[in-house]
Amino acid sequence: MIYLVALLLVYTLLLSLMAYRPLFSKRTVASVAQRLQPVTIIICARNEERTIVGCIESILHQDYPRDLMEVIVVNDASDDRTGVIAKELLSKSGITAKVITNPSRKGKKASLVFAIQHASCQFIVTRDADTNTPSPIWLQLMVAPLIENTLTLVAGPVTLKPNSGLLWALQAIEQNILTMVGGGSIQLGWPFLCSGANMAFSKKLFEVTGKFKNHLHLESGDDVFFLNDVKKTKAANVFFLNNAAALVYTSAMGNFKNLLNQKVRWASKTKYNRNLTNLVVALLTATVNAAWLVVLIYGWLHPEKNNWLMVFLAGKIVSDILLLIPSLIFTRSWSLLLPAFTVGFIYPVYACVVGFYALLRRPSWRST
């Protein structure tokens, strides 16, 4: 039992160190209103006719000079009207825009590389097609660190659009914790996690890190593998933009099957990721969740030992709620606190299922 408690303490202390770190650092960046620079926003999309309108409109509503903005949408052989809708919206915007349609699927990473090659601006911001942001200064905040240092990868925060239900709460809690843990790891100098749904960098950084050549054979991973490239590059740095006005909101999966497919796609990148922090966090998290399941089953088979085992079971749930609190403060999504107790019982099973299937799968981009 003492080993289980020690394991849980290490898990809680390490992840809490990361999750709470952004709360104790500056949430603003230097004002750049008088020295804004041209920027290309790239959106890679596949079958996103239901969400791409919100994404593009949130970009068009930015408080940023339109003559300094370029939008490139890469339509990766969609089966729906994604490309048509994007063209219609952008043609009326007055912003320099391109809609590139791949005749056959190339995947997100290849699409992103192609778009960067055709970008007319030196500063690049990437967004997923199912995201939006309510803040009109989101783009200013994302560009500001690049003006200070062009060899910077800017990791912006991502959360889920408000909704209801246990499935949504499961996804929102996980996403919020990952955002804060990833951001804190960056601020501590141990970067291992960021999201391509809200990311900025310069063409110069993209070129000096090798243009994804070390991992271009993997369809997905345009964010974490690029993060590793930046980490290894002399004079380059990573900046976590822990400002709530920089938040982008993405959609939750509507059913468990789609959620499982999404998480397995993401988790399958872990076995190709040689980042030490990533490996430590992944192994520690997997071990704690697996131990929780084993203890639960063992306690059911041996009820006479339940008193001791309940310490570990309850401790894990309390630990995860402690990890959630920084994101609730950051996003002000306090409605997640109540379902966090129920999610605490479900999450270990969900995490183990995702981890098992991820070991059998190669990273890929969405197919539907």
Express each pLDDT in 254-269 by its tens digit.
898 888 888 777 766 6
Output the pTM of the full model.
0.91
pLDDT reading at 66 higher than 90: yes
- Mean pLDDT, range 120-145, rounded to an integer: 96
d(CA 234, CA 230): 8
pLDDT above 90 covers a percentage of the chain that reads 71
Give the pLDDT score at 221: 79
Residue 239 has pLDDT above 50, yes or no: yes
Q: Which residue has the higher pLDDT, 35 or 207?
A: 207
Q: For position 27, what pLDDT does the model report? A: 52
Average pLDDT, whole number, for the chain? 90
Low-confidence winner among 51-60, 194-203, 312-321, 352-361 (lowest mean pLDDT): 352-361
CATH number, domain 1-42+103-368, options 3.30.200, 1.10.8, 3.90.550, 3.40.50: 3.90.550
Copy the structure tokens of residue 262: 């999404």
Please determine, for residue 100, whether its predicted confidence score (pLDDT) is greater than 50: yes
In this predicted structure, the answer to whether residue 42 has a pLDDT above a threshold of 90 is yes
The pLDDT value given to residue 368: 46
Q: How confident is the model at residue 142 (pLDDT cuts 50, 70, 90)?
A: very high
pLDDT at 231 over 90: yes
Q: What is the mean predicted confidence (pLDDT) over 116-131?
A: 96
pLDDT at 127 over 80: yes
Whether 299 shows a pLDDT value over 70: the answer reads yes
Cα dihedral 159, 116, 102, 216, rounded to 10, equals: -80
HEC states along the chain? CHHHHHHHHHHHHHHHHHHHHHHHCCCCCCCCCCCCCCEEEEEEECCCCCCHHHHHHHHHCCCCCHHHEEEEEEEECCCCCHHHHHHHHHHCCCCEEEEEEECCCCCHHHHHHHHHHCCCCCEEEEEECCEECCCCCHHHHHHHHHHHCCCEEEECCEEECCCCCHHHHHHHHHHHHHHHHHHHHHHCCCCCCCCCCEEEEEHHHHHHCCCCCCCCCCCCCCCHHHHHHHHCCCCCEEEECCCHHHCEEECCCCCHHHHHHHHHHHHCCHHHCCCHHHHHHHHHHHHHHHHHHHHHHHHHHCHHHHHHHHHHHHHHHHHHHHHHHHHHHHHCCHHHCCHHHHHHHHHHHHHHHHHHHHCCCCCCCCCC
Percent of the chain predicted with pLDDT > 70: 92
